[in-house]
Amino acid sequence: RLQPTRALGDFHLKHEEFNNPADMPRSQGFHNKIKNFKGNYVSSRPEIQKFVLRQGDRFLVMGSDGLWDELSSQEVADLVNQNSNSPRDLPGKLIDKALEKVSMRTRLPLSEIKKL
């Protein structure tokens, strides 16, 4: 599921003027005010990294922060190497591995995390 936060929503996390200036109630769709707002908690600017591909490189994995926040480059490389014969299954396996780590870190059952 793609969360459009970066591009479209959550203005209260991007700009102080949308940080519930009139203390409007949550029942009307407003978020709780962030005290001492220190600015852009969410950015609409993507983080882009450039890499030079070398002759020995075997694969390229592109992922969002949701993947890279949970899995190290080495964990991703290991999973790709272990499943190189079934590349179509890799996205699901990477997601499952990331969710397993979230489950362990939060102590929430994996089945509950998958419902979110």
- The segments of the chain whose pLDDT lies below 70 read 1-34, 37, 39-45
C-alpha separations of 50 from 34, 61, 62 in Å: 35, 13, 11
The pTM score is: 0.60
Q: Are residues 11 and 3 in contact, defined by beta-carbon separation less than 8 angstroms?
A: no
**pLDDT at residue 47 in the model:** 74
Q: At 77, phi and psi to the nearest 5?
A: -60, -45
Residue 90 and residue 108 in contact, taking contact as beta carbons nearer than 8 Å:
no
Per-residue confidence (pLDDT) for residue 77, from 0 to 100: 94
**Alpha-carbon gap, residue 35 to 39, rounded angstroms:** 11
pLDDT of residue 26: 61
What pLDDT is attached to residue 62?
A: 87
Q: Which residues contact 31 (CB under 8 A, 6 or more apart)?
A: 12, 20
